[in-house]
Amino acid sequence: MFDYKQFYVRLIYIIIFLFLTAKSNDAAENLSPGNCVQTYDSGTDYFPSKVTVTTASLFTIKYNNNYKLVMNTATKDTFALVQCGTPVPTGLPAGTKVFNISLNNVAVMDTSVVPYLEALGLRSHITALGSPFVTSPCLQALNSNLTIISTDNMTLEIQQLSKVDASFDSMSNLSDPKSISISAASDPGPLNRAEWIKFFSVFFNLEDSANTFYNQISDNYNCLKKLPSSNSHPLVAWVAYNEPSSFNNNTASWTINDAPYKKIFTEDAGGTYFNSTTLSYSTSSSFLSAISNVDILIDETFVAPNISAFYTNFNLNSNDNQYKFIKNNAIYREDGLSNPSDGRDWFENAILLADDVLEDMMNVINPNLPTKDYKRLL
């Protein structure tokens, strides 16, 4: 239903631009990946290029002359990033994990990490994957050269992870000194999530690239949000059907999503976010009664390959024109790009590229925006 071709073309152009920009500004940048300090001077600031966190709420970065102190405030994990060739500082907070930077090879245990590293030009630094659900076509092409981390053999998993400098994971693992917890998908706002590119950049001394990339996304996003008309604000609901399984006591439910970033996307695109005090329903009739006035429906059901499945899941049919989202064919999904294992790009590039998602949401709400001939990417 959706087309991501433009999505990747745009990303490639941005990466080329960042590469050329970095090449022309070497003297003013931090030491590039693979380079270490040869003669240490305690009075030297080894990080002339810095990032400042302006929007994201779930990480902090503090610079010192030869190390950076990074904290994931969601997991409370702290990381000391020490410029290689310089001494490890004393007096670090208890439990701080120490990494020599720049990192050379890493494992990606959560697919949401992939677009950030690719945007920073670090695809070749990914040597291991913890999931088969990655949708990046370039990483899929490199699959034979990557280590797939074992999920059912702990001994093998430990051996595999011992060969990387660090592993990025959505889960906190205090017992693993190489594990770096990330919470980009949980940061409550489209630009919050995009700004996590700064978090990843500090592990590779690529702050300048991160600043350029984020500023472009932020500027474009804030420009786009000025386009929607104030005359019409259709009601938009993000919903899902949860089929009976061992995870829910074999009881079906119909749910309404209240994630803050979805509310922001909806409102910035010109819609009205459907708020409900009740988020989960045990019968389809009570659920349908709750959303009876919804204009646009975004179906987030994990398994719903076609419109017939949608109708079955929600006990609807194509003749139920009392619902405006059926009458006006205003039913959408987020699975425009998936890999053979049903891994979705919605959980990868859509987390980083907030401006692209906003353009799609605008087009869903008003087909004439952002331009009359716009083709949705998601």
Q: Are 25 and 139 within one domain?
A: yes
| In-domain check, residue 358 | yes
Burial of 337 (0-12, 13-18, 19+ CB in 10 A): buried
| In-domain check, residue 319 | yes
**pLDDT tens per residue, range 151-160:** 889 899 889 9
CA–CA distance, 72 with 244 (Å, rounded to integer): 35
- Compute the half-sphere exposure of residue 294: CA atoms within 13 Å on the CB side of its CA: 24
Q: Are 161 and 215 within one domain?
A: yes
Reported as type and span, the H/E element at residue 72 is strand 67-72
Reported as type and span, the H/E element at residue 364 is helix 354-365
- Compute the half-sphere exposure of residue 131: CA atoms within 13 Å on the CB side of its CA: 23
Q: DSSP string spanning 9-25? A: HHHHHHHHHHHHHHHTT
Q: Are 7 and 353 in contact (CB under 8 A)?
A: yes
CATH of the domain at 207: 3.40.50.1980
Q: Are 215 and 320 within one domain?
A: no
User: Whole domain around residue 125: which residue ranges?
Assistant: 5-39+102-222
Instruction: Give every CB contact of residue 284 below 8 A, 6+ residues apart in sequence.
Output: 254, 314, 315
Distances (CA, A) of 333 to 34, 125, 303: 42, 33, 11
pLDDT confidence of 28, banded at 50, 70, 90?
low
Distances (CA, A) of 198 to 52, 77, 106, 136, 205: 8, 17, 17, 21, 10
Question: Per the structure block, which two tokens stand in for 16?
Answer: 């080329």
- Look at residues 204, 222, 240 and tell me which one is the last residue of a structural domain: 222
**pLDDT tens per residue, range 132-169:** 778 888 888 887 788 889 888 989 988 999 999 999 99
Q: Are 176 and 232 within one domain?
A: no
Predicted TM-score (pTM) of this structure: 0.89
Q: Are 199 and 290 within one domain?
A: no
Q: Which letter does DSSP use for residue 88 in this model?
A: P
Q: Are 16 and 141 within one domain?
A: yes
Least confident of 16-30, 202-216, 298-312: 16-30
Q: Are 350 and 185 in contact (CB under 8 A)?
A: no
Instruction: Give every CB contact of residue 234 below 8 A, 6+ residues apart in sequence.
Output: 271, 272, 295, 296, 330, 365
| In-domain check, residue 312 | yes
Q: Are 329 and 208 within one domain?
A: no
Burial of 273 (0-12, 13-18, 19+ CB in 10 A): middle
**pLDDT tens per residue, range 242-268:** 999 888 889 999 999 999 999 999 999
| In-domain check, residue 64 | no
Domain count, the chain: 2
Q: Are 218 and 231 within one domain?
A: no
Tell me which residue has tokens 């919903």.
239
- Look at residues 187, 207, 222 and tell me which one is the last residue of a structural domain: 222
Q: Are 218 and 245 within one domain?
A: no
| In-domain check, residue 59 | no
CA–CA distance, 51 with 318 (Å, rounded to integer): 51
Q: Are 35 and 178 within one domain?
A: yes
| In-domain check, residue 315 | yes
Q: Are 128 and 275 within one domain?
A: no
Helices (H), 134-194: 137-141, 154-161, 190-194
Per-residue pLDDT, averaged over 55-64, amounts to 99
| In-domain check, residue 78 | no
Report which of residues 200 and 34 the model is more confident about: 200
| In-domain check, residue 107 | yes
Q: Is 208 helix (H, G, I), strand (E, B) or coil?
A: helix
